[in-house]
Chain A
């Protein structure tokens, strides 16, 4: 069974621009979660979508937003990029049940110049 895929794998943007990242979950999975990974802060939860609805939200500013489509694919958008947004962005999918295992994608490396 194919794993979680994320596109693009690498991105370079400049301050003030916006960016959209995409995540395709494992077939049958209805939950997609997004995380920001940095050397200093580790893995920080951004948000989770389940059946096209945001189910959980982390403590990130409104510049970070997401959505989920009917096929469970999810996108994450960051507007007005800042240098501090440079990070590895990971998505994880699961069936969405209370104790289901999350499966992670390879991540998108975003560099903001």
Chain B
């Protein structure tokens, strides 16, 4: 069975500081990895997915199959980045999404 682990519950940084939100997964096949974000009073929404290999709102994430990780990074945090972030895995075509427990990112002015 697949599992997603987000080892930290809270990350608090100052504006302008680098951010790294950790995500590790366990799955024997080739997974599809996602980061979802939930801003205050807003819906959960897709931030980025590893197959797109794109940067969204300055965030990037690289799938490291050797370390089974998909950490989310941003070089300079902004206050508007404060939100709940979830890492998720899909084990195959048409399979369910498995979410980590999420991490709260707080960016202080």
Residue numbers of A with Cβ under 8 A of B are 3-4, 33, 35, 41-45, 48, 50, 55-56, 58, 90, 92, 96, 98-99, 101-107
A55-B94, A99-B32, A99-B51 known; A43+B99 contact, CB < 8 A = yes
- Number of A-B residue pairs, CB cutoff 8 Å, is 47
Query: Apart from A35-B99, A106-B43, what are 9 other A-B pairs with CB-CB below 8 Å?
Result: A41-B101, A42-B86, A43-B102, A56-B94, A56-B96, A98-B93, A99-B49, A103-B45, A104-B45
The interface residues of chain B lying within 8 Å CB-to-CB of A41 are 101
User: Interface size bucket, B side?
Assistant: 10 to 19
Contact A104 B44 (CB under 8 A): yes
Contact B86 A43 (CB under 8 A): yes
The interface residues of chain A lying within 8 Å CB-to-CB of B69 are none
Mark each residue of chain B from 42 to 58: 1 if its CB lies under 8 Å from any CB of chain A, else 0.
01111001010000000
